[in-house]
Amino acid sequence: MENVHGEQGLLVAKGICKSYGGAQVLNNVDFTLGKAEIHALLGANGAGKSTLMNVLNGVVPDNGGSISINGQMVRMSNPEVARHHGIGMVHQELSVLPNISIAENIFINRLPRNQLGIVQWQKLHAESEKVLRSIGLDVNPQMLLGKLSVADRQMVEIARIISMDLPILLLDEPTSALSEAEIKRLLELILQFKSEGRSVVFITHKLDEIMAVADKVTVLRDGRLVGVVTVTERDKPAERKLVSLMIGENIFDESEMFPEKGKNFGEVMLEVENLTGSAGFKNISFFARKGEIVGITGLKGAKRTELMRAVFGADTHVHGTVRIKGLEQKKPGIANSIAHGVAMITEDRKSEGLVPLMSVKENISLVTIKDCLVAFVVKKSKLDKKANKYVKKLGIMVPSINVSVRALSGGNQQKVVLSKWLTSDPDILIMDEPTRGIDIKSKMEIYKLIRQSADNGASVVIVSSEISETMGLADRIYVMREGVMVGELSAESFDHDTIMHMMFGHSK
């Protein structure tokens, strides 16, 4: 790998600065994108990656610097201007609209109309089906988008940008909600864009994605540019060098990524027997013991999330039994689960995990607000103490616990969601994609917190699309396929290929 910094390029940003209040998010950042180049942005949560993308796309105004395209100075005052200059962006937090059709989301503000201004629905649906097919998403474009999973909504947002046929694509964490098969397809699409002469900037925390497709990597740390690296070697030493730049210290040994497995497990804390739901899972049985981390994995459509929502009581089930600490739950529901010491971190932090209009400290204290009451009045000092404790414990990058949670990066928002439930010290902790959108160093910190929760006596159930994460963290793994539990593996029999074959329904 070789450090480079070129002045020539399709898109050149010089000295970009951005601050929010007193917090300097970008400090004199330079960025150069070449024609037909795949350029990755790497950095810890809060490093300024998404902010830089938003400046380039005109979503937020910069406080200084310049941007040029093909040597011509431009002012990105809004996304429409950026699109006029050939730039389109897929945001980390979904901006699709759930109450209109998939086709209308793809061509929003660009619906095909005849000379009388009437929407040509047949043409709209045909064009939508064409672009959906190009990204491997087999859904009816006339269906309401709100009926899709988070992963499929992400694919629709990608389809919308692809349909614009723009020369510059900005992708902010495009794979964070996708399965391994979908990630592979998206990376193939990115390489296809390059072969067509298009340029792609993408943010990811997954080094294997960078090493698979990137030509260059720009590394940010604390809002500053710390390195621009040309990827000439696609091996482990190259990965370690990138992460060293990102976190500002020598990279950890890969064996230290995950904490040691649990050894002593107690009684069964959560038992699910023959659970069937209208959401598509059938006759599911599994258990989790005290002090144990249980992993549940599978492809998109395996119904992992739907199962966990039913176990937690967020959704109803048709038949079957859920037992918490040996007690059958006769009247399941969220309030009942919380009362019995169960916590659940949901997959969709934006709509289910956070209250965007509230501050960081208010979000952290949502579940345990009663602990901050004195004579039925919320004690501010107690709120502050609790919030500051978890901000420090999880390394949440925030200028103040009083700022709106909306001001945080996606990864730091995820840490706030984790904090909210960890404050309740749950007996059973269900976590659906808990490290989605979180950088490597933060993942390690969260893995340690999860293991600490188990070592302190909690039963932890992890739903993850990442096989390596599931294998590294879990003491036992269940594999789901198309709504059915197809296998169980103990730590001694963990094998990536075996799990993949089970997920796809093939014998090894």
pLDDT > 50? residue 2: no
pLDDT in tens, 319-369: 999 999 999 998 889 999 999 999 998 887 777 778 888 899 889 988 777
- Between the alpha carbon of residue 193 and those of residues 202, 267, 409, the distances in Å are 13, 53, 28
* Pairwise pLDDT comparison (371 vs 331), residue with the higher score: 331
Domain ranges of the chain: 2-86+166-252, 96-164
pLDDT of residue 445: 83
pLDDT of residue 1: 45
Min mean pLDDT across 116-120, 196-200, 390-394 is at 390-394
pLDDT in tens, 415-432: 898 888 888 889 999 999
Looking at the DSSP bridge assignments, the partners of residue 431 are 345, 462
pLDDT in tens, 135-166: 888 899 999 998 888 778 888 988 998 899 89
pLDDT > 60? residue 5: no
Work out the percent of the chain whose per-residue pLDDT is above 70: 92
d(CA 507, CA 498): 8
* Pairwise pLDDT comparison (382 vs 421), residue with the higher score: 421
pLDDT of residue 197: 93
Q: For residue 118, report the phi and psi dihedrals to the nearest 5 degrees.
A: -85, 135
* Pairwise pLDDT comparison (139 vs 239), residue with the higher score: 139
- Between the alpha carbon of residue 104 and those of residues 59, 148, 162, the distances in Å are 22, 14, 14
Query: Given pLDDT bands bounded at 50, 70 and 90, which one contains residue 295?
Result: very high
User: Is-contact 12 37, C-beta < 8 A?
Assistant: no
21 φ/ψ sector (left φ>0, alpha ψ -120 to 50, else beta): left
Q: Which two tokens stand for residue 178?
A: 């996708």
pLDDT in tens, 43-72: 877 789 999 999 999 998 888 899 999 999
Over range 104-119, report the average pLDDT: 91
Q: For residue 90, report the phi and psi dihedrals to the nearest 5 degrees.
A: -100, 120
d(CA 156, CA 148): 10
pLDDT of residue 233: 67
Over range 181-191, report the average pLDDT: 87
d(CA 201, CA 90): 10
Residue 471's identity, in one-letter code, is M
d(CA 13, CA 52): 10
Query: Given pLDDT bands bounded at 50, 70 and 90, which one contains residue 373?
Result: low
Write the CB contacts of 88 (distance below 8 Å, at least 6 apart in sequence).
Answer: 57, 82, 161, 164, 166, 168, 169, 170
Which residue, 301, 270, 263, is CA-closest to 287?
A: 270
pLDDT of residue 6: 43
Query: Given pLDDT bands bounded at 50, 70 and 90, which one contains residue 374?
Result: low
Q: Which two tokens stand for residue 292?
A: 């144990």
d(CA 424, CA 442): 21
pLDDT mean across residues, the chain:
87
pLDDT of residue 254: 56
pLDDT > 80? residue 501: yes
pLDDT > 70? residue 3: no
d(CA 225, CA 65): 14
Give the CATH fold of the 2-86+166-252 domain: Rossmann fold (3.40.50)
pLDDT in tens, 249-287: 655 555 678 999 998 899 999 999 999 998 899 999 999
pLDDT of residue 8: 64
User: Is-contact 259 455, C-beta < 8 A?
Assistant: no
The residue written with tokens 């690296």 in the block is 229
pLDDT in tens, 405-417: 888 877 788 889 8
Which residue, 441, 449, 440, 385, is CA-closest to 417?
A: 449
Which residue, 207, 266, 200, is CA-closest to 235?
A: 207
Looking at the DSSP bridge assignments, the partners of residue 380 are none
d(CA 209, CA 219): 15
